Amino acid sequence: MTAEASEIDTFLQTTEPVELTDGTKVRVHRLKTREFFGLLRILTNGGAPMLAQVDTSGMSEEQMVQLLLSLTLFSLPNAQDEAIAFVQQMVELAEEPANKQDGIAARARLVAYLDNPELDDLITIVEKVVEQEAEDVRALGKRLRSMWDLAQKTGQVPQPIAKQGKSAPAKRAPSRPRST
C-alpha cells in the first residue's frame, strides 16, 4: 500500500474529534460491514414496525438524515444492548496516549464509560454516525427497499398496516347449550 493510499484510507475512516461530556475526545468511525450490521441490529430489534412504514422516495439528503436519526433514536429503548455495543465499536480515542499501557488503560476507561454513557454523548455519537453515512445509507436504502418490497410480496415479512386492508372481525360460532 502506498503512503497516499494509506492517507486516503485514514481520511475516509476517521472524522473530526468529538468531545464527550467527561472531556474525552473521540473520533467516530465510518460504517463498514460489521458496524452497519450493528446499526441494523438496532433498527430491526428496536424499530422494525416503524421500518415497515418508511418510504424514502423523493426525500432530500437532509430529510433522510432526520428520518434515519429519528428511527435510530426511537429504536434505542428496545435495543439497549445493541445500541451500547454499536456506540462502543464506533468510537476510538482521538489521541493515542504515549505508551501502550496508557493506551490500553484509556481505551478500557472509554469502553467502561460507554457502557452507560451520558444521554447527550449517546445522541451525539449516533447523530455523528447518521450525518456521516446519510448519503451512503440512502443509496443502500434504495436497494434494501426493493429487497424489502420483494420480501413482503413473497410473504416473508408482514405487510404494512396501511396496505393490509381492513378485514371484518371474525364471527363467533354460536355456542351450544350446556348439557347437564
State mean pLDDT over 132-138: 77
Q: Is residue 170 part of a domain?
A: no
**Average pLDDT of the residues in 67-88:** 87
Contact residues for 26 (Cβ-Cβ < 8 A; gap 6+) = 17, 18, 20, 91, 92, 93, 94, 110, 125
The C-alpha cell 473520533 sits at 27
Q: Is residue 85 part of a domain?
A: yes
**Average pLDDT estimate for 58-66:** 74
pLDDT band at residue 91 under the 50/70/90 scheme: very high
Tell me whether residue 96 is in a domain: yes
Assess if residue 123 is contained within a domain.
yes
Question: 133: which 3 cell numbers?
Answer: 453515512
Number of domains in the chain: 1
The pLDDT score that the predictor gives to residue 87 is 93
Q: Is residue 137 part of a domain?
A: yes
55, pLDDT greater than 50: yes
155 in a domain, yes or no? no
Contact 20, 113 (CB under 8 A): yes
Question: For position 147, what pLDDT does the model report?
Answer: 78
More confident call, 180 vs 44:
44
Whether the per-residue pLDDT at 11 is higher than 50: the answer is no
Tell me: pLDDT of 23 over 80: yes
Instruction: Report if residue 124 sits inside a domain.
Output: yes
What is the model's pLDDT at position 51? 67
Give the structural domain span for 123: 13-146
Please check whether residue 173 lies inside any domain of the structure. no
92 pLDDT exceeds 90? yes
